[in-house]
Amino acid sequence: MENKLNKTGKVDRNHPAFRENAKPFFSIVMDGLMGEVDGEHFWDAVAEDAIFEFMYNVPGFTNKIEGRKAYMDWFEGYSMELKYADNLRVYKDIEQGVITLEYQVHGASPYSQKLYDNRFCSIVTIKDRKIVHWRDYADSLAMMS
């Protein structure tokens, strides 16, 4: 499955990366990118050859994923049950095509039911109304505990 956009500009909704448990993440990011990217869902807004960098210090977590398909394939295993996301702050450098998003996500581990709260700073580069580069910073300790 290539995960190319169909005629309507949407990525195939049957891919397992369209996870309900991550909906708060997808929603807050798309709120922050409103008016700057095309597509109604996060995956629609990601360029096919986008690069994702994760500046986390979490054992076993990759620091770089290349391509929308590779990230979608990784994301299908995302298990955290997010309940909501909030505290969105958006900073735009339109000339450079860079948008910085600060936000928080809240949920629980599906295995331990332990509460999960994390803060993120995502630096997003947009070209031709698509996400082409994503650099993510987060609280690594919150991810590990």
The string of pLDDT tens digits covering residues 57-78 is 777 788 999 999 999 999 888 8
CB of 83 within 8 A of CB of 106?
yes
13: pLDDT confidence band, cut at 50, 70 and 90?
confident
pTM exceeds cut of 0.85? yes
Tell me what pLDDT residue 141 has.
66
Tell me what pLDDT residue 1 has.
43
Q: How many separate domains does the chain show?
A: 1
In a domain? residue 2: no
Tell me what pLDDT residue 4 has.
59
Tell me what pLDDT residue 107 has.
93
In a domain? residue 112: yes
In a domain? residue 6: no
In a domain? residue 13: no
In a domain? residue 73: yes
- Longest CA–CA span in the chain (Å) reads 45
List, in order, residues 6 or more apart from 65 with CB less than 8 Å away: 51, 52, 54, 71, 74
In a domain? residue 44: yes
Q: What is the CATH number of the domain that holds 66?
A: 3.10.450.50
Domain hosting 48: range is 20-144
CA atoms of 136 and 115, how far apart (whole Å):
21
In a domain? residue 5: no
Minimal CA–CA distance to 38: which of 122, 124, 125, 130? Answer: 130
CA atoms of 142 and 145, how far apart (whole Å):
5
Average pLDDT rounded to a whole number, residues 127-134: 97
CB of 143 within 8 A of CB of 118?
yes
In a domain? residue 1: no
